[in-house]
Amino acid sequence: MINSDVAITLLWQRQSVWSQAANRLKVRITWARSATLLLIVLGAVFGTGAAQAQGTLSRVLAAGAAVALALASLAGRGGSPTVVRDWTRARSVSEAIKADVYTYLAGARPFDGPDRDEKALHELDDLMRSVDDIVRHTTGLTPVDRSLPPVHDVDSYAKERVVKQLDGYYLPKAREMARKVQFTHVLEVTLSGAAAVLAAVVAVLPSTAVSAWIGVFTTVAAAVTAHAAASRYEYQQIEFTRTADELERLTTLRAVGGHLDDEEFVVTCERIISIQNEGWMARLGTNDTEDSSSA
């Protein structure tokens, strides 16, 4: 018989390590995409400025444009499809282990029998074998010193897992993505509008100096659109909102004495969370051929 504290503590420590690995990869991707966007904008501005300036200033701006565009290409590697796939898989591992920990502590299937420790460790072993090619991302990471979640039955599971995920993660994330969608749309319209205004000015008062900047606004607007598409803000907003609605429905149904029994409640909640995690992370990963969850 395996000591329960040892088994579940091992899972919780492994979850911490994989969560840190996923977070580190996500930071790398975010910085790469942001840097690429900024450098493309700078390249467009410097290039146009170089065409209009003269002498030393023109040469400096031209060199700046060349350097910015070269660095943009280099920065883009930090958000390459390979890096994104590694991130989505690392996050999936973290979330899978977390789901097993909470299900185990709540005493729900498949961890509801006397052999639940063996099953938990077996699940962990299977999971680790499926990601042995990305285990390098955990090198040097140590588990964060933290206690196990205070879950010992389904009531505490509902409070610590479902309600905290709902109020502390899904709803705030849905609002955050909604703000990003709105900001991106406003920025795209503003840039496109500015290009249209400049085009109208050039039509009335032909000016080579002004017409050159139409391309800058158009380029920046396209870069912003590509950045938003790669980040999938709108898709994430929909997924976070949908998951929050489903979890809220389940907690309400249980509170009013609905048809779900305790074990079915746990299993259904984890299934919903799992579908959400796998769905949006897979979408983000596959999208990069075109281009945390909480800890």
Within 10 angstroms of residue 35's Cβ, the number of other Cβ atoms is 17
Does position 287 have pLDDT exceeding 70, yes or no? Answer: no
Q: How far is CA 32 from CA 76, 88, 139, 198, 230, in A?
A: 6, 16, 22, 31, 12
> Average pLDDT for residues 199-226, to the nearest whole number?
80
Residue with tokens 């065409």: 51
Q: What is the pLDDT of residue 291?
A: 35
Domain residue limits, the chain: 4-139+151-287
Instruction: For residue 229, name the pLDDT band (cuts at 50, 70, 90).
Output: confident
Q: Give the torsion through C-alpha atoms of 94, 142, 286, 133, to 10 deg.
A: -100
Q: What is the pLDDT of residue 118?
A: 92
Q: What is the pLDDT of residue 294?
A: 47
pLDDT tens-place string over residues 70-80: 999 898 888 88
Model pTM greater than 0.85? no
Instruction: For residue 68, name the pLDDT band (cuts at 50, 70, 90).
Output: very high
Q: What is the pLDDT of residue 292?
A: 42
Contact 177, 236 (CB under 8 A): yes
Q: How far is CA 33 from CA 5, 48, 245, in A?
A: 42, 23, 31
> Average pLDDT for residues 248-262, to the nearest whole number?
82
Q: What is the pLDDT of residue 113?
A: 86
Q: What is the pLDDT of residue 42?
A: 92
**192, amino acid identity:** S
Share of the chain above pLDDT 70, in %: 90
Instruction: For residue 285, name the pLDDT band (cuts at 50, 70, 90).
Output: low
Tell me the two tokens of residue 184.
Answer: 């991106």
Q: Any idea how long the chain is? A: 295
Rounded CA gap, 274 and 161, in Å?
Answer: 13
Q: How far is CA 177 from CA 128, 170, 173, 187, 233, in A?
A: 32, 10, 6, 15, 5
> Average pLDDT for residues 51-57, to the nearest whole number?
88
For residue 186, count CB atoms less than 10 angstroms from its CB and return exposed for 0-12, middle for 13-18, buried for 19 or more: exposed
Does position 179 have pLDDT exceeding 90, yes or no? Answer: yes
Within 10 angstroms of residue 90's Cβ, the number of other Cβ atoms is 27
Q: What is the pLDDT of residue 278?
A: 65
Contact 211, 198 (CB under 8 A): yes
Verify cis geometry, omega within 30 degrees of 0, for the bond prior to 150: no
Q: How far is CA 226 from CA 46, 229, 252, 288, 290, in A?
A: 21, 5, 40, 11, 9
pLDDT tens-place string over residues 44-53: 899 888 888 8
Q: What is the pLDDT of residue 142?
A: 95
Contact 68, 43 (CB under 8 A): yes
> Average pLDDT for residues 132-147, to the nearest whole number?
94
Q: What angle do CA 129, 130, 132 make, to 5 degrees?
A: 65
> Average pLDDT for residues 6-15, to the nearest whole number?
94
Rounded CA gap, 21 and 14, in Å?
Answer: 11
Does position 206 have pLDDT exceeding 70, yes or no? Answer: yes
Calculate helix-pair angle for 208-231, 233-255, nearest 10 degrees.
30
